[in-house]
């Protein structure tokens, strides 16, 4: 019985000393700004003061309120080039995803430099002398054209590595993506 109470006293004394040491360090760290209360000299701070150029621009706008609606930005989306042999615009086609999930093959992509309605996208799958295609409609966006995602069962497709290319075609534009690999287990 004496051994247990002696052991308990030693554990209690060690716990009190440990808690006291931690408390003392935290008090010291707080007053001297060391870890965990240190101030990072590289910390990003927001400067709420306006520069002289900003102050000058504000005065110009206040004196001539018609300048509030002026827009001097000149960014323009890149215009597609024209293929001299076909006379059609060259579509920049990106195959963004091709893969198998839960035994379903999915592929998606878009045309990054054209925003037009009425085109078609064709996903071409090739393995050796075997090939098949999936044609989908498009969706028009403000600065691009999205090819609808194609999804179909992987059953019935020969296992192995297939090459996949996305082609875009419309009345005045055409193009194709770089190839991606698709592994059918």
Rg (CA), the chain: 33
Residue 15: C-alpha distances to residues 4, 10, 18, 26, 61 (Å): 16, 9, 5, 16, 68
The pLDDT score that the predictor gives to residue 40 is: 62
Tokens of 160: 């192995």
CA-to-CA distance for 26 and 53, rounded, in angstroms?
46
pTM of the model: 0.58
Residue 119: C-alpha distances to residues 20, 176, 181 (Å): 75, 13, 25
Q: If you average pLDDT over every residue of the chain, what do you get?
A: 85
Question: For residues 50 and 138, which has the higher predicted lDDT (pLDDT)?
Answer: 138
Return phi, psi of residue 109, to 5°.
-175, -175
Question: For residues 34 and 98, which has the higher predicted lDDT (pLDDT)?
Answer: 98
Return phi, psi of residue 31, to 5°.
-75, -25
CA-to-CA distance for 95 and 109, rounded, in angstroms?
4
> pLDDT band for position 48 (50/70/90)?
confident
> pLDDT band for position 133 (50/70/90)?
very high
The CATH H-level (homologous superfamily) assignment of domain 89-184 is Immunoglobulins (2.60.40.10)
> pLDDT band for position 56 (50/70/90)?
confident
CA 21 to chain centre: 48
The pLDDT score that the predictor gives to residue 130 is: 95
* 3-state SS, residue 126: strand
User: In this structure, are residues 111 and 145 in contact, taking their beta carbons and an 8 Å threshold?
Assistant: yes
CA-to-CA distance for 10 and 26, rounded, in angstroms?
24
Return the ∠ at Cα 47 (arms to 45 and 48), rounded to 5°: 130
> pLDDT band for position 156 (50/70/90)?
confident
> pLDDT band for position 166 (50/70/90)?
very high
**DSSP annotation of 81:** P
Residue 80: C-alpha distances to residues 44, 115, 139, 144 (Å): 42, 11, 18, 12
Digit-coded pLDDT (tens) for 57-97:
888 878 876 666 666 666 665 667 887 788 889 999 999 99
């Amino acid at each position: 019985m004496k051994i247990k109470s002696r052991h308990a006293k030693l554990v209690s004394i060690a716990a009190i000393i440990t808690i006291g040491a931690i408390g003392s360090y935290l008090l010291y760290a707080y007053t001297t700004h060391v870890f965990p209360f240190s101030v990072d000299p590289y910390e990003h701070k927001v400067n709420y003061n306006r520069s002289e150029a900003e102050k000058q621009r504000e005065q110009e706008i206040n004196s001539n309120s018609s300048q509030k609606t002026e827009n001097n930005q000149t960014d323009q989306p890149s215009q597609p080039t024209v293929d001299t042999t076909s006379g059609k615009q060259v579509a920049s086609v990106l195959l963004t995803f091709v893969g198998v999930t839960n035994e379903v093959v999915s592929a998606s992509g878009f045309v990054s430099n054209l925003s037009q309605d009425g085109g078609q996208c064709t996903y071409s799958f090739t393995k050796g002398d075997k090939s098949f295609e999936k044609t989908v409609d498009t969706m028009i966006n403000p600065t691009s054209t999205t090819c609808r995602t194609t999804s179909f069962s992987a059953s019935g497709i020969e296992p192995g590595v297939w090459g996949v290319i996305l082609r875009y075609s419309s009345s005045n534009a055409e193009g194709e993506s770089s190839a991606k690999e698709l592994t059918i287990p």
